Amino acid sequence: MPDMSPRDQILAGIRRSLGRPRIEGEQAEALTRRLDNSQSNLVPKRSQIPHAEQVDLFVAMAEGVQTTVTRVATEADVPGAVADYLKQHNLPAELRLAPDDWLTGLPWESRSMLTIRTGRAEEPDPVSVTPAFAGVAETGTLMLTSGPKTPTTLNLLPETHMVVLKASQIVGAYEEGWTKLRAAYPAQLPRTMNYITGPSRTGDIEQKILMGAHGPQRLHVVLIDD
């Protein structure tokens, strides 16, 4: 196995332990065809609505799980919305921005009071701002992909996570999100795709909801009505 990648070595070890042979020939071709032509499961009727209504549904469902949402008219309004949110909640004017070209290209210089760094999150970072791959209307869920320009640490370490989402990125159901993902990454899917529905919470301790148990205490979406 010296010529095998670490991933293939791990999978080969799992197959051996399960007593399963390597999938080859017609069986492998059938599996590839199934993956290339994946079929959707049942799609909730509440998400099968016109797109404008899907956007409103996304906002309603997100707010129902303690996500806050600010709607803005244009991309240029994003820095102001971010600064206003920080001020309203008495949060530090310090941002760790995802090094995404579109996000960093917004007019952040219009808000000179903000201290902005880019890159992956470090433990002291109080606030992160990331783009989203999509928003799922049926549950108010955000889809975020990992990559050099969208480090996953930004979704998990800071106490306040702010996500910039375009209305055009909102889909009705999870299945539509995966169809969109496969189309965007035809050669290889991102290593990680995070579903985020509201800020982190747990009810394990005396059945009381504790916010920020495993991630951010606050989740705020700046929604661009593009």
pLDDT for residue 5: 85
Whether the Cβ atoms of residue 93 and residue 114 lie closer than 8 Å to each other: yes
Domain regions of the chain by residue span: 50-224
- Which whole number is the average pLDDT over 56-78? 97
Report pLDDT for 43: 81
Plot region of 59 (φ>0 → left; ψ -120 to 50 → alpha; else → beta): alpha
Average pLDDT of the residues in 211-218: 70
Give 95-148 pLDDT, tens digit per residue: 999 999 999 999 999 999 999 999 999 988 999 999 999 999 999 999 999 999
| pLDDT category of residue 42 using cuts at 50, 70 and 90 | confident
Q: Which fold has domain 50-224?
A: Rossmann fold (3.40.50)
The percent of residues in the chain predicted with pLDDT above 90, rounded, is 68
Q: What share of the chain is helix, strand, coil (3-state, %, to 5)?
A: 35, 25, 40
Q: What is the pTM of this model?
A: 0.83
Region 168-183 average pLDDT = 94
What is the per-residue pLDDT for 39? 74
